[in-house]
Copies of this chain bind each other. A is one copy, B any other.
Amino acid sequence: MNFSITQQTKHFGGTVMKMIHKSNTLNTENQPFNLFLPPTGDDATLQIPLLIFLAGLTSSADEALEKSNLNQSAAKHGLAVLYPDTSPRGTNLPGEHDLIEVGSSAGFYVDATAEPWSNHYNMETYITEELSLLVFRKFPQLDSSRVGICGHSMGGHGALTLYFKHPEKYKSLSALSPLCSPIHSPIGEKAFLEYFKSKEEWFQHDSIELIKKYKGPELHILFSIGTEDQFKKILNLENFVQVAAAFGYEKQIEVITFDGYDHFYLYVSTVAQYHVEHAAKYLFA
């Protein structure tokens, strides 16, 4: 199996590794991802919980690593953080690098069913299966039974939908300014029209649709959002909360609003601490 650590350094007392691997799911030769191990990462007597962070549209594993500020809090709480990339890399499908909402750095954390995307854009299976398996095999100090998931914007959509579809895999869930209903947003529609053969498939990748049918353990979802979020109208967070309440989840959802904050990484770096704390609460429960 083609796997290598391309860079390793310290960060807030822990260790950052940048890696590439051959992905069978994405059909890519050198798929990048990053991992942060907390300062306790070398203690062979510990099993370390893992938080997966899914980045937003146009972002990447490297940008999330350098700008999200998650590692600082993760170091304090003793959590590892996994940064998958936002899409397959090294591919060259027609229009892939020009279609902002569909191609490189998009991906929406779904398995595409329509050609040509279905040859590579299988981010759901990649995140929930292949990459997790790889990471737990390569880093036995990580505890595969204590994994949390969170994400920002398109990555918030990813965290919500992957959790609702695979609740047995994750023990914590939170989302920063998530795109809650891609099927009711212009960017989500653009992507899903390309990725899927039929509109019926869209409903399987929409948090508002998925929570209506959710069957799994009690939810504890933390949301954060800035009052000056430029994309507030298309995120549909309020709609999600209303629908969730109607289905009986009102008390299982917390929304923290940040006055004056917008949608981007300065906001993410400010609120990261709350999301790490939330994950730690359930991963160390």
| A contacts, CB < 8 Å to B | 9-13, 15-16, 65-67, 69, 72, 226, 228, 258-262, 264-267, 269-270
- CB-CB under 8 A from A67, the residues of chain B are 66-67
Interface SS of chain A: mixed
Is B10's CB under 8 angstroms from A267's CB?
yes
Q: Would you list the 3 A-B pairs with minimal beta carbon distance, nearest first? A: A10-B260, A11-B266, A9-B262
Is A270's CB under 8 angstroms from B66's CB?
no
Is A10's CB under 8 angstroms from B270's CB?
yes
Is A12's CB under 8 angstroms from B270's CB?
yes
Bound CA span A258–B265, Å: 26
Bound CA span A89–B69, Å: 28
14 inter-chain pairs at a CB distance below 8 angstroms, sorted by A residue, are A9-B261, A9-B262, A10-B226, A10-B262, A10-B266, A11-B266, A11-B267, A11-B269, A15-B260, A16-B266, A67-B67, A69-B69, A69-B269, A72-B269
Closest-CB distance, A93 to chain B (whole angstroms): 30
Bound CA span A262–B18, Å: 14
